[in-house]
Amino acid sequence: MKLYLAFILLLPLMGGIFNALLGRTLPRRVGEVVACGVIWSAFACAVLAFAGFNGPVRVEFGSWLAAFEFQAPIALYLDQLSLSLTLMITFVCGLIHLYSVGYMQDDPAHARYFALLNIFVFAMLVLVLAENLPLLYLGWEGVGFCSYALIGFWYTEEQNATAGRKAFITTRIGDTAFGIAIVWMYQLSGSVSITHLNTMGTLIPAAVVTTLGLLLLAGASGKSAQLPLSVWLPDAMAGPTPVSAQIHAATMVTAGVYLLARMFPLIGGSGTVRAAIALTGGITAFYAATCACCQRDLKRILAYSTISQIGYMVLGVGAGALTGAAFHLLTHAFFKALLFLGAGCAITALHHRQDIFRMGGLRAKLPAVYWPFLAGALCLAGFPLTGGFFSKDAILAGVAAQGGPLYGGLLLLGLITAFLTSFYTFRMVFVVFHGEQKNPLPPGGGGLGRGGSDNSAANILHPPPHPLPSREGEHLELPKIMTLALVPLALLGLCGGMLNLPSYLGHQGILDGFLGSIPGFGGGEKASQGGEIVLQIVAAILSLTGLGLAWFRYTGSRRAEALAREEAGLPGAGFLLNGWRLDNLYGALIINPFKYVARFFWKQGDEAGIDGALDGLARFIARLGGLPAGWCTGRVATSLFGLAGGVCVVLAYLVWVTLP
Amino acid sequence: MMADLHLLTVLVFFPLAGCLLMLPAWKCPAAARSLALGVMSGELLLALWLYASWQGLAALKPALPGYLLVEDAPWISAFGIRYTLGLDGLSLLMVMLTAFSFCIALAVSWRAVGEKVGLFLALLLAMETGIMGVFLALDLALFYLFWEVMLIPMFFLIGIWGHGRRIYSTVKFFLFTMFGSLLMLLAIIALHLLHARQSGVTTFGLFELIATPLPAGTQLWLFAAFFLAFAIKFPLFPLHTWLPDAHTDAPTAGSVILAGLLLKTGSYGLIRFGYPLFPQAAQTLTPLIYTLAIAGIIYASLVAFAQEDMKRLIAYSSIGHMGYVAIGIAAWEPVALSGSIIQMANHGVTTGALFAMVGMLDERAHTREIGAFGGLWGKIPLWSFFFLIFSMASVGLPGLNNFVGEFLVLAGTFTKAPLAAGLAFVGIVLTLVYMVRLVQEVVFQVERRPLPLADLDRREICVLAVLALLVVWMGVHPAPLLELIHGPVRLLTGGVP
């Protein structure tokens, strides 16, 4: 087991280092094979670890931070949760790596790309496997750095580089809260081991547990793009599409959910914390769903859908439905990776055009993309009997089981969000793949013109610096590997429900049984079977209604009219398009004052204040020194005058001391 | 056996001997460079050898508890001044850092300094003697001597080989530090006299003076004088304004030494002399130190964000990083103090590397203005790669060196002063903000001015690769260094040897 774990971590790391140091000098194929090979080998090791798994194990590899009582060794902890996530991460990232081979085939910076992609996987695996919080923090910050470098991968465009920076800084604001929580837990218990801390829940005062929980929630909000730190994610679309898939599906954004689930035995003891987590998740899910309804950039729709779906998972954690949250995390990883990779195919085929209002009719042109994409959309929309349907329902059932006005309200919000989700998902599908393409591409494959009525429409197109060579015909031909990678994800997404079928079907779900023994996972109120069936029927109806509404609006004769009106700008759409204008709010409240204060401190504080005062003092002393210098005129008369004066002073002094 | 070799004397005075040997080679830059290289690498080898054998030395139990090597001889008997040098784990770490930083300083000025090479190298060597002495002296009079010795070569280094307003900067640097050290000298003499009056023994020995019972008021004044001298070197807000000017106008080697070593003498002095000599006074002033350090972290990080000159920005980042060191010392708790000491070494490596890299860029482009660059990743990828590594180390990315120090400082401090540690965490975000701004505007985006830039040559790659390996090694496996300082930290914080 120790060997497997070492390989799971070291292989991606070595692959990344290999590509970073040697990738530029070796043929492209070598770098690609190494990058994909290490991830798939890590997956193989994860499968072997799964086969040999019989109960949680803690493995220590060596010391890392060790000073007096503060001991944070390089130690890993493999239990059911980290094992299932490891399997998912290596598998989905493996597919994303394969897809990237096709996607990046014309990009000269492949070595940097694959190096970062591999290290990204390494950091995420450290995050889920770490046994102590500082090591988890290493993975946590590691994914932050990799996302920074990958979102700004096409760094020559200022907005790409800025988007990467925004992601790094925003998530680090949350990380700071997490960091404070770590040192606080160390202060309370003298330990940073996760398993040890999780047994401390009863020994720590309730108020402190609440504060710790809120700090961890703030940390999770940063990485998982929950309100109010969600603003980085829509901009993170500036990166290459497989990177978006990796950030959104398998890594990074799920880190916050993982952290909250992992520390739940400690923080779940506080009702305030649970309520805060559930509220954050529920409101974020709703917020992002409303924003997604008005987006016109294909990737931004998916970005908001991620925020919304992660919101569901956080809501699930808040309701104590940890298994449901983990279940949704897994199915979401499959179908969101699928949707992003599918979107990447469509975007590539259209010469890196992302505006959905310039798309249409792709069903006939790209059937190999359409059908998997549709499968992903069905899951996202919670279409009955897909994986997404069961996992989302598991969360809502957990919320329903909590009862009370707060959770009742959140259940209602969750159901409204489910309806919105279905609507915006099929809006996307129908606008992109059905109907007719509105504006055929200009010859030559440029198609880089900007459109739209709002300033954020400037984000719609992200031409890479080295546009793919345009070929004859309306759309580019896609490398086979890109469409092939969609198939296993589509199957997993559709059949993901099998992982944890509801118990009213007669059997305990697989995940329920597998994860049930982890502290915290077994708990949570269980909904009655009848209630769960009713809930599923309601959710199914909502999902179908959303689909129907989208069908009614975006296909057939009404399509043209609806699109024209939306393109002109519906009332209030600008507010939703810009994510409730949070960016403007933060700009006015934080960023601009920050810049002003920075400059003020420099110019008024350092230069005028401290240095001005000291320079003034220096000048004053120099002038003081200059006073006697004025007497050194060199004239005999002045000197004699001085001599006489001096003699008088000395005589006067002698007289004064000798007088009785 | 090793004690008889007078290794510490060799360590201190070997560079000075090299400085004298420089006289015949005065007119021949190539010979002078080879000579300096020989002396400095000899020092480094000696330091590394001491490190390799430290556990064996510790087993020998020399005269002073916790020390590995001690040399003691009477010097000026009339005043009880002795020539006492002592090496413990803390000193050894600083000695290694010193020997290493001088090699880096020599390497980065190999070609950059073309005039008066002999004088330049002689000054560097003289400074190495001074700094080694500061880190080894255990007699306060001797310490003060070395403290001044290291200052004078730096004055000329900035004044002669500097850029811009170099005279203003070097005089400012000199006046700031002299002001502090004169007060410290007064305090040393006062302490000496007080001790003589109480016990009848005239001595400047650190361990004799530690035992001097002092009334609280006196202790406070004496500590304040020491603290001022160290705080200026640190530098703590608001005594920091000499640093950006000195760094900006210093030659690259000067910046490397300033950041890597001179700032460390302040924190080292506080750990070795300030706190042990005046524990109660230090306790009383701890809130002040926290306040100044945190104000410094936040203030300097904000000012760094507004900078337009790369070197100035990194100079301000130094103030922020040293703020963490100050917090860890103020907590005076084993974990935090270990973190501070490790952070001293880390900061020397990381910031030294950043200054060296900006110096390399300056040699090529003859400007350090942030707005002049952009898109360097496409133009000089190797330089950009290393710059990204050191920037990420500077923002405290876990797995790289600065994280180790910062995190231990914060973890330890939180047990003593949660509010101070919590506020210091805010600085971590601010550090990231100005550092990624620098990286983005220099390394990413598009080229703003067509500058003739060549990528790193083999000498530069070697220097930076060594630094980068150190950054990673100290970040991934800091355990040997933490073990090295474990004993001294335990003794300093009141544990038994």
DSSP annotation of A467 reads: P
Asked whether the predicted pLDDT for residue A459 surpasses 80, the reply is no
| Contacts made by residues A558-563, CB under 8 angstroms, sequence distance 24+ | A559/A430, A559/A431, A559/A434, A559/A435, A563/A357, A563/A431, A563/A438
Report yes or no: B136 and B86 within 8 Å, Cβ to Cβ.
yes
Tell me the shortest Cα–Cα distance from A529 to chain B, in angstroms: 47
The per-residue pLDDT for range A506-563, each reduced to its tens digit, is 677 788 878 878 877 766 556 677 888 888 899 899 999 999 998 888 887 888 888 8
- Rounded to 10 deg, the angle between the A387-402 and A322-349 helix axes is 140
Residue to mutate among B402, B433, B442, B443, with most A CBs inside 10 A, is: B433
pLDDT at residue B3, as a whole number: 56
pLDDT at residue A417, as a whole number: 93
What is the sign, positive or negative, of the torsion defined by CA atoms of B306, B312, B316, B318? positive
Tell me the shortest Cα–Cα distance from B169 to chain A, in angstroms: 12
What size, in residues, is chain B? 497
Nearest-Cα residue of chain B relative to residue A20: B385
Reported as a pLDDT band with limits 50, 70 and 90, residue A635 is confident
Asked whether the predicted pLDDT for residue A630 surpasses 80, the reply is no
Asked whether the predicted pLDDT for residue B327 surpasses 90, the reply is yes
Average pLDDT on B113-123 reads 87
Integer-rounded Cα radius of gyration of chain A: 31
The per-residue pLDDT for range B310-319, each reduced to its tens digit, is 999 999 999 9
Inter-chain CB pairs, A–B, below 8 Å: 145
Tell me the shortest Cα–Cα distance from B429 to chain A, in angstroms: 6
Asked whether the predicted pLDDT for residue A463 surpasses 80, the reply is no
Average pLDDT on A457-471 reads 45
For residues A123 and B238, give the distance between their C-alpha atoms in angstroms, rounded to a whole number: 39
Interface of A with B in 103-122 (CB under 8 A): none
For residues B40 and B35, give the distance between their C-alpha atoms in angstroms, rounded to a whole number: 9
Nearest-Cα residue of chain B relative to residue A171: B429
Reported as a pLDDT band with limits 50, 70 and 90, residue A394 is confident
Report yes or no: B281 and B223 within 8 Å, Cβ to Cβ.
yes
Nearest-Cα residue of chain A relative to residue B171: A618
Let me know if B72 is exposed, middle or buried by CB neighbors in 10 A (0-12, 13-18, 19+). Answer: middle
Interface membership of A155 toward B (CB under 8 Å): yes
Mean pLDDT score of chain B, rounded to an integer?
Answer: 90
Residues of A in contact with B469 (CB under 8 A): none
What size, in residues, is chain A? 660
For residues A601 and A608, give the distance between their C-alpha atoms in angstroms, rounded to a whole number: 9
Residues ≥6 apart with Cβ < 8 Å to A412: none
DSSP annotation of B30 reads: H
Task: Say yes or no: ipTM exceeds 0.90.
Answer: yes
Report yes or no: A294 and A573 within 8 Å, Cβ to Cβ.
yes
Asked whether the predicted pLDDT for residue A471 surpasses 50, the reply is no
Report yes or no: B169 and B162 within 8 Å, Cβ to Cβ.
yes
Range in A34-43, A363-372, B95-104, B481-490 with the lowest mean pLDDT: A363-372
Average pLDDT on A100-124 reads 90
- What's the predicted TM-score (pTM) here? 0.91
CA-closest candidate to residue B430, choices B346, B322, B319, B305: B305
The per-residue pLDDT for range B136-157, each reduced to its tens digit, is 999 999 999 999 998 999 999 9
The structure tokens listed for B392 are 């990420």
Element (H, E) at A302: helix A298-318
Residues of A in contact with B486 (CB under 8 A): 67-68
Interchain pair B303, A606: CB under 8 A: yes
What residue ranges do the domains of chain A occupy? 581-629, 630-660
The per-residue pLDDT for range A249-297, each reduced to its tens digit, is 778 888 999 999 999 988 888 889 999 999 999 999 999 999 998 888 8
Asked whether the predicted pLDDT for residue A460 surpasses 70, the reply is no
pLDDT at residue A364, as a whole number: 81
Element (H, E) at B415: helix B401-416
Give the HSE-up count for residue B125: Cα atoms under 13 Å, Cβ half-sphere: 29
Interchain pair B428, A176: CB under 8 A: yes
DSSP annotation of A224 reads: T
Residue to mutate among A155, A193, A596, with most B CBs inside 10 A, is: A155
The per-residue pLDDT for range A358-375, each reduced to its tens digit, is 887 788 888 888 899 999
What is A147-180 written as a DSSP string? HHHHHTSSTTSHHHHHHHHHHHHHHHHHHHHHHH
Percent of chain B having pLDDT more than 90? 66
The larger pLDDT score, comparing residue B27 to residue B219, is at B219
Average pLDDT on B342-363 reads 93
What residue ranges do the domains of chain B occupy? 2-492
Reported as a pLDDT band with limits 50, 70 and 90, residue A453 is very low
